[in-house]
Amino acid sequence: MASKKAYIDHLANVPLFSSCSRKELERIAKASDEITMTAGTVVVDQGQTGREAFVVLSGDVTVKRAGRKITTLGPGGVVGELSLLDHGPRTATAVCDTDCDLLVIDQRHFRAILEDVPVMAIKLLSVLSSRIRDLDRQYYG
């Protein structure tokens, strides 16, 4: 089991949380749980409703969309982060390639943090708007 400091270091590498202060990352880490999944376990399944995100602490996770490999994530990688913000379907399937330790961030606990620290919501909106602008430039030029 990793320390809370290690959790914070992993969370700091998650693009969605890149603008969060150390204190804000501590709040997220305290509201999270560490789990272990064995190789071959499905972490998230495309099309299913998600209610949590998973940060890879150790191991490798392959992400596929419509059966096509998108990427492989290692420590610091995250799957399911959109589920922290809405109840929409998972946009990809993620499967553990190896035994993995994952930090689980539950939507209910995450939203409680946002209610207590509203400035975090503004930071997240800024990160998301940057991602939308980047996608817009890639698609439309």
Full residue range of the structural domain in which residue 75 is found: 4-140
Instruction: Name the DSSP class of 17.
Output: G
Tokens of 69: 């490999």
> What is the residue-level pLDDT of the chain in tens, covering all 141 positions?
667 788 998 899 888 888 999 999 999 999 999 999 999 999 999 999 999 999 999 999 999 999 999 999 999 899 998 888 888 899 999 999 999 999 999 999 999 999 999 999 998 889 888 888 988 898 887
| CB 82 within 8 Å of CB 50 | yes
Nearest to 75 by CA among 50, 107, 97: 97
CA distance 27 to 33: 12
- pLDDT given for residue 13 in this prediction: 87
Number of domains within the chain: 1
The pLDDT value recorded for residue 14 is 87
Assigned token pair, 20: 């969060």
* CATH code (residue 44): 2.60.120.10
pTM, two decimals, is 0.89
* Interatomic CA distance for residues 6 and 48, integer angstroms: 30
3-state SS, one letter per residue, for 81-141: HHHHCCCCECCCEEEECCCEEEEEEEHHHHHHHHHHCHHHHHHHHHHHHHHHHHHHHHHHC
Nearest to 27 by CA among 129, 109, 95: 109
